[in-house]
Amino acid sequence: MIINHYEDIEAVELMEGVKKRVVIGDNEGAPTFIMRIFDLDPGKSSPYHIHPWEHEVFVLQGRAVVTNDTGDQISIEAGHTIYIPPNEKHCLTNKGEGIFRFMCLIPRGVEETEAQTVT
């Protein structure tokens, strides 16, 4: 068993105002899933993108909108869960005044470089 505090894991800035921590992954020997924690600053968002794997998301803190495959924006906040199936366009945008923090699970072995930004 491995126990860590997420704040002890180094955050990597993916783009201005968007940070990621891989809290369970290769370093822990996880055989099936990768668990990541993302922090989005107010007004910041993940790219609108698509990829061939699913996401499971749990919102830990803050308020945001998730933009789906049809461009609809759905309000989300701490406590919400989101299942994003493979090949569905999606984006999360912080609409709050503080950090928007969420946990995201992906299958182990997927390459994030396979994600394609869409417009």
Domains in the chain: boundaries = 10-108
Mark the ranges of the chain whose per-residue pLDDT is less than 50: none
pLDDT at 109: 84
pLDDT at 112: 62
Residues in the chain: 119
CATH dotted code for 10-108? 2.60.120.10
Residues 6+ apart with CB under 8 A from 25: 34, 35, 36, 108
Give the pair of three-digit tokens for residue 53: 């794997």
